[in-house]
């Protein structure tokens, strides 16, 4: 298969328009050449269990209790009230079907959305002024906007829908304009250098926006795919940047997910990457709470879900069991780097993959 024809299946345009656009028609190549082996339509027996349901319930209750009055969540002492972590918390509620105007936590999502929209700069950057290395948070927040627009169409409030759509377009334009000449992104919204962990955040946001009906330049995705490919090491894992870094399973999960969300579903790079992740990051075989634990498993579970088949069958029960065992009595999960709201949001998104609510996980 010519993988360049399968890259993200986006309409070719010269720039991201700020005018309203119609949802792009399906383009040849936006199909799974592997016959659709992903887990989307192939549920495992007992994917959801009573123990898992109880765990998720406690986690969602904890998130709701710990939302700030302004709609945000706090990323521990290091990050403060954070746009990216707020977006992830809202996605965790959306993974259970809660959206503004619907569901017991719909109001939490609505207030989180207001916080994110209120913290967009004139350039389209989604970040508080004090945010350090804001492109991580921007990628998560732009993904949130794409997912909520895709699930609601903006909602019945025309003014709010217009504000949401404009913010989504501006956030995507910023991503397109700040891609560096290697094809990736890094901490700040300037096209200087790149790393694979920030790059996947932007690729997912672009994919979500496309799913929601926003045109994205195919050239942006082609360059991103080339960057990701060049980051893969001979052992199947992925390095941090083109010029440095050995393989590590969290960023390797991000690398594989990048290719999937770029519209590449069958490729030797994916197979070698999946093998590396299973060999080095399999739940139960590695030290729990290692560096970037939740970040890595956030992308690993998506990669295994999209791979489907035996890989999903092997991975899902293992990560489900491990995360259930790591939950605190109060319902939270600890992340030593970014705080409990981040760890809890990531754990809940992972554990709710089988619910299949979020558009980003659907084909």
Specify whether the backbone of 283 is left (phi greater than 0), alpha (psi in -120 to 50) or beta: beta
Around 279, how many Cα atoms within 13 Å sit in the side-chain half-sphere?
A: 12
Is 58:321 a contact under the CB 8 Å cutoff? no
Residue 20 has pLDDT above 50, yes or no: no
Alpha helix (H) residue ranges in the chain: 50-65, 76-79, 83-94, 106-118, 135-152, 158-177, 196-211, 218-230, 249-261, 268-281, 293-307, 309-326, 340-351
Q: pLDDT at position 160, please?
A: 84
Compute the 3-state secondary structure of the chain and give helix, strand, coil in percent, each to the nearest 5.
Answer: 55, 5, 45
Instruction: Please indicate, yes or no, if residue 241 is contained in any of the structural domains.
Output: yes
Helix or strand holding residue 247 (H, E): none
Q: pLDDT at position 363, please?
A: 60
Percent of the chain with pLDDT over 90: 76
The contacts of residue 314 (CB under 8 Å, 6+ apart) are 278, 282, 304
Instruction: Work out how many domains the chain is built from and give that number.
Output: 1
DSSP code at position 241: B
Domain that holds residue 270: 231-323
What are the tens digits of pLDDT across the range 164-181? 999 999 999 999 999 999
Between 22 and 130, name the one with better pLDDT. Answer: 130
Both ends of the chain: CA-CA distance in Å?
19
Other CB atoms within a 10 A radius of the CB of residue 38 amount to 21
Q: Under DSSP, is residue 282 helix (H, G, I), strand (E, B) or coil?
A: coil
Average of per-residue pLDDT values in the chain: 88
Mean pLDDT of 240-256: 93
What are the tens digits of pLDDT across the range 127-163? 986 767 899 999 999 999 999 999 998 777 788 889 9
Q: pLDDT at position 289, please?
A: 60
Instruction: Please indicate, yes or no, if residue 314 is contained in any of the structural domains.
Output: yes
| Buried residues in 186-204 as b, exposed as e (16+ CB within 10 A) | bbbbeeebbbbbbbbbbbb
Residue 275 has pLDDT above 90, yes or no: yes
Distance CA(236)–CA(232), nearest Å, equals 6
Residue carrying structure tokens 């035996």: 310
Q: pLDDT at position 271, please?
A: 98
Instruction: Please indicate, yes or no, if residue 315 is contained in any of the structural domains.
Output: yes
Q: pLDDT at position 78, please?
A: 74
Does the predicted model carry a pTM greater than 0.75?
yes
Instruction: Please indicate, yes or no, if residue 246 is contained in any of the structural domains.
Output: yes
> Residue 287: which pLDDT band, with cuts at 50, 70 and 90?
low
């Amino acid at each position: 298969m010519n993988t360049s024809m399968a890259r993200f299946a986006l309409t070719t345009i010269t720039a991201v328009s700020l005018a309203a656009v119609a949802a792009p028609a399906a383009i040849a190549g936006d199909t799974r050449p592997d016959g659709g082996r992903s887990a989307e339509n192939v549920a495992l027996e007992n994917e959801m269990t009573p123990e898992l349901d109880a765990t998720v319930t406690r986690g969602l209750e904890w998130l709701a209790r710990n939302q700030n009055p302004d709609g945000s969540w706090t990323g521990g002492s290091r990050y403060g009230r954070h746009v990216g972590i707020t977006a992830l918390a809202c996605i965790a509620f959306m993974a259970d079907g809660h959206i503004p105007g619907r569901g017991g936590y719909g109001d939490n999502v609505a207030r989180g959305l207001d916080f994110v929209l209120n913290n967009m700069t004139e350039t389209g950057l989604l970040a508080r002024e004090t945010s350090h290395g804001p492109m991580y948070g921007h990628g998560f927040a732009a993904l949130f906007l794409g997912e909520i627009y895709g699930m609601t169409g903006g909602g019945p409030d025309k003014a709010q829908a217009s504000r949401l759509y404009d913010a989504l377009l501006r956030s995507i334009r910023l991503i397109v304009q700040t891609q560096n000449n290697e094809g990736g992104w890094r901490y700040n919204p300037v096209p200087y250098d790149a790393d694979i962990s920030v790059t996947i955040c932007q690729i997912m946001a672009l994919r979500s926006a496309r799913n929601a009906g926003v045109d994205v330049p195919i050239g942006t995705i082609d360059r991103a795919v080339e960057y990701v490919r060049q980051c893969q090491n001979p052992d199947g894992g992925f390095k941090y940047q083109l010029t440095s870094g050995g393989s590590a399973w969290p960023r390797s999960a991000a690398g594989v997910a990048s290719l999937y969300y770029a519209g590449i579903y069958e490729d030797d790079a994916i197979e070698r990457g999946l093998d590396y992740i299973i060999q080095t990051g399999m739940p139960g075989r590695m030290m729990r709470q290692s560096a970037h634990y939740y970040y890595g498993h956030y992308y690993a579970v998506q990669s295994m879900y999209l791979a489907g088949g035996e890989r999903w069958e092997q991975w899902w029960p293992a990560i489900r069991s491990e995360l259930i065992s790591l939950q605190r009595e109060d319902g939270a999960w600890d992340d030593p780097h970014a705080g409990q709201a981040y760890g809890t949001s990531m754990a809940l998104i992972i554990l709710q993959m089988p619910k299949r609510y979020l558009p980003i996980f659907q084909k």
